[in-house]
Chains A and B, each alone.
Chain A
Amino acid sequence: MKPEKQLTRWHEAGIINAEQVELLKHDLKQQAETSYRKNMLATIFTIGGLLVATGGFLFVAANSWIWELFNSGLLKVGGLSLLTFGLYYLGYYLKYEKKSAPKLGETFILIASLLIGATYFLIVQTYNLSISNDLTLLAWLFSMLPLVYIHRLKTLTVISTCIFTAWQLALTLSGAFDYVSQFLVYGLFFYSFGSCHTLFPKFSEIGLTYKNTGLFFVISNLLWLTLLYLGQLIYSPDQGQIYLNQSRELQQTVQGSLLLITSCLLAGFYFYKQCQQKQLIKIEVGVISQIILSVLILSYNLVGSLTGVSLWFTMVFGSLIFGLFHLGFKRENLVAVNLATTYLMLFLIGVYIIFASKNMSMGASVFVVGGFLLMGIGWFIEKKRRALTKAMVEKQQTLITPPVEVPSKEEEEA
Chain B
Amino acid sequence: MKMKQVILTVLALWGIGILTIVVSQEQHLASGKEVLLKTVPVDPRDLFKGDYVTLSYDINAIDLRKITVDKPSFKEGDLVFVTLDTTDSTHIAKPIKFSHTAPKGDLLFIQGKVNYSTEIMHITYEDIERYYVPEGTGGVIEQARGKSVLVKVALNSEGKPLIKQVLIDGKPFSPSIPRTN
Q: Which residues of A line the B interface, CB within 8 A? A: 57, 60-65, 67-68, 73-74, 77-78, 81, 84-85, 88-89, 92, 96-97, 116, 119, 121, 123-130, 133, 136, 139, 143, 146-147, 150
Chain B contact-residue range equals: 35 or more
Q: Which residues of A contact B25 (CB under 8 A)?
A: 73, 123, 126-127, 129
B176 adjacent to A68 (CB under 8 Å): yes
Q: Give 15 CB contacts A-B under 8 Å.
A: A57-B48, A63-B135, A68-B175, A74-B26, A77-B18, A77-B22, A85-B11, A88-B10, A123-B21, A123-B22, A123-B25, A125-B132, A128-B52, A128-B130, A128-B163
The number of inter-chain residue pairs (CB within 8 angstroms) is 105
Looking across the interface, which residue of chain A has its beta carbon closest to that of B176? Answer: A65
Q: Which residues of A contact B34 (CB under 8 A)?
A: none
Q: Which residues of B line the A interface, CB within 8 A? A: 3-4, 6-7, 10-11, 13-15, 17-18, 21-22, 25-26, 29, 46-52, 126-135, 162-163, 175-176
Task: Take A64-B134, A85-B15, A128-B130 as given contacts and tell me if A133 and B47 are in contact as well, using a CB distance cutoff of 8 Å.
Answer: yes
Q: Which residues of A contact B131 (CB under 8 A)?
A: 128
A129 adjacent to B48 (CB under 8 Å): no
A129 adjacent to B127 (CB under 8 Å): yes
Complex CA–CA separation, A63 to B173 (angstroms)? 15
Chain A interface, DSSP helix/strand/loop, else mixed: helix
Looking across the interface, which residue of chain A has its beta carbon closest to that of B130? Answer: A128
- Least CB distance, B123 to chain A, in whole angstroms: 14
Q: Which residues of B contact A121 (CB under 8 A)?
A: 48-49
Q: Which residues of A contact B18 (CB under 8 A)?
A: 77, 81, 119, 123
Looking across the interface, which residue of chain A has its beta carbon closest to that of B163? Answer: A128
Complex CA–CA separation, A127 to B23 (angstroms)? 11
Looking across the interface, which residue of chain A has its beta carbon closest to that of B9? Answer: A146
Q: Which of A68, A116, A127 is close to B127, meaning CB atoms less than 8 Å apart? A: A127
Complex CA–CA separation, A96 to B3 (angstroms)? 8
Complex CA–CA separation, A81 to B76 (angstroms)? 38
Q: Which of B7, B14, B22 is close to A143, meaning CB atoms less than 8 Å apart? A: B14
A128 adjacent to B47 (CB under 8 Å): no
Q: Which residues of B contact A96 (CB under 8 A)?
A: 3-4
- Among B18, B29, B176, find the residue whose CB has the most chain A CB atoms closer than 10 A: B18
A125 adjacent to B50 (CB under 8 Å): yes
A88 adjacent to B7 (CB under 8 Å): yes
Q: Which residues of B contact A116 (CB under 8 A)?
A: 14
B135 adjacent to A64 (CB under 8 Å): yes
